[in-house]
């Protein structure tokens, strides 16, 4: 399928946000929209590929660059993020979130290399992320899409890792959202789920214990609040099992999760059907 893809700009809190936009090229009819929320690496090739896959399935996909809000800081330029990602890929997963272990590994690099990577990692993996700022950027994206004549009025979200947690938070905070998909994202605090007004679907890897350990609490809170939530946990799957650019990719889990995602999103704006006898009339 031929796709129409471009980088566009919208505004959040009066400041510009860059976003990757994809849709089928050969249709002019309004489409349901899906906000694709980045991993910590930004809207890189993998996130753009997810947006393209959704466009090929009949959606208008928008992937905001959370780091571009206002102006992207130098340490978060894509080339520097790529170098930091390469550095982390060479470390055991347990060291990723351990500042002391990261500092130890950085000290083994030449200063001209380790210094910039350290700056980028400090921004990518801070003790406290500006989640409220990111959430405001995403809520602005919802409003932007609802005003887009190319959108049929339905807007969903799907997020990965950092973006998975943000997809869950968006469902808690944005009452007009039609559906939310979480891929291995941190669960929101139980007291926030009262605000959920749409169906939520979450995918997790059993080996990703830091993330998956919070799912039972989320499921219980959602059930108690009467919310529509399904959690799918894949045996043997690690964090980022859908990301086919990384060694964490697990084809079976990714295949099943993607099929379930498309079926779930199709509920947001189902196609009209007719009885077989009416079709032949």
**With contact defined as beta carbons under 8 Å apart, do 55 and 3 qualify?**
yes
Q: Is 200 exposed, middle or buried (0-12, 13-18, 19+ CB in 10 A)?
A: buried
Would you give the distance in Å from CA 154 to the centre of its chain? 18
Look up 46 and say whether it is catalytic.
no
DSSP 92-152: -HHHHT-HHHHHHHHTTS-HHHHHHHHHHHHHHS-SS--HHHHHHHHHHHHHHHHT-TTEE
Helix (H) or strand (E) holding 248: none
Q: Which residue in the list 46, 69, 154, 239 is annotated as catalytic?
A: 239
Backbone angles phi, psi at 240, to 5 degrees: 60, 40
For residues 57 and 174, what is the distance between their CA atoms, to the nearest angstrom?
Answer: 25
Q: Which residues lie below 8 Å from residue 112, measured CB to CB, with a gap of 6+?
A: none
Backbone angles phi, psi at 210, to 5 degrees: -60, -35
For residues 179 and 158, what is the distance between their CA atoms, to the nearest angstrom?
Answer: 9
pLDDT of residue 51: 98
Sign of CA dihedral 130, 131, 137, 140: negative
pLDDT of residue 97: 82
Q: Which residue in the list 52, 65, 178, 208 is annotated as catalytic?
A: 208
Residues, the chain, total? 281
Q: Which residues lie below 8 Å from residue 245, measured CB to CB, with a gap of 6+?
A: 45, 46
Question: Quick one: DSSP state of residue 15?
Answer: E
> What does the angle CA 203 – CA 207 – CA 209 come to, to the nearest 5 degrees?
85
Q: Locate 107 and state its tokens.
A: 């000290």
Look up 239 and say whether it is catalytic.
yes
Per-residue pLDDT in tens (0 to 9) along the chain, 281 residues: 899 999 999 999 999 999 999 999 999 999 999 999 999 999 999 999 999 999 999 999 999 999 999 889 999 999 999 999 999 988 887 788 888 999 999 999 998 999 999 999 999 999 899 999 999 999 999 999 999 999 999 999 999 999 999 999 999 999 999 999 999 999 999 999 999 999 999 999 999 999 999 999 999 999 999 999 999 999 999 999 999 999 999 999 999 999 999 999 999 999 888 888 765 65
For residues 159 and 166, what is the distance between their CA atoms, to the nearest angstrom?
Answer: 7
For residues 111 and 81, what is the distance between their CA atoms, to the nearest angstrom?
Answer: 17
Q: Which residue in the list 148, 161, 172, 178 is annotated as catalytic?
A: 161
For residues 96 and 140, what is the distance between their CA atoms, to the nearest angstrom?
Answer: 31
What's the distance, Cα to Cα, between the start and end of the chain in Å? 32
pLDDT of residue 65: 98
């Amino acid at each position: 399928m031929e796709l129409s893809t471009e980088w566009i700009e919208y505004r959040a809190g009066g400041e510009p946000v860059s976003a990757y936009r994809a849709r089928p090229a050969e249709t002019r009819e309004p489409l349901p929209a899906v906000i694709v929320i980045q991993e910590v690496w930004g809207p890189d090739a993998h996130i753009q590929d997810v947006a393209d896959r959704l466009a090929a399935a009949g959606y208008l996909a928008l992937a905001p660059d959370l780091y571009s809000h206002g102006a992207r800081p130098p340490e978060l330029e894509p080339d520097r993020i790529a170098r930091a990602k390469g550095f982390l890929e060479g470390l055991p997963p347990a060291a990723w979130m351990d500042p002391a272990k990261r500092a130890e590994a950085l000290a083994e690099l030449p200063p001209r290399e380790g210094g910039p990577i350290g700056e980028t990692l400090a921004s990518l993996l801070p003790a406290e992320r500006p989640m409220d700022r990111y959430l405001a950027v995403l809520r602005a994206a919802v409003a932007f899409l609802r005003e887009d004549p190319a959108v049929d009025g339905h807007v969903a979200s799907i997020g990965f890792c950092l973006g998975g947690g943000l997809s869950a938070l968006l469902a808690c905070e944005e009452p007009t959202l039609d559906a939310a998909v979480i891929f291995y994202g941190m669960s929101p605090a139980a007291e926030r789920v009262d605000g959920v007004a749409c169906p939520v679907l979450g995918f997790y890897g059993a080996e990703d214990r830091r993330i998956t350990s919070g799912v039972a609490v989320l499921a219980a809170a959602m059930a108690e609040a009467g919310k529509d939530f399904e959690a799918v946990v894949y045996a043997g799957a690690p964090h980022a099992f859908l990301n086919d650019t990384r060694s964490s990719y697990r084809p079976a889990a990714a295949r099943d999760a993607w099929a379930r995602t498309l079926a779930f999103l199709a509920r947001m704006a189902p196609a009209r059907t007719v009885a077989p006898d009416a079709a032949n009339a």
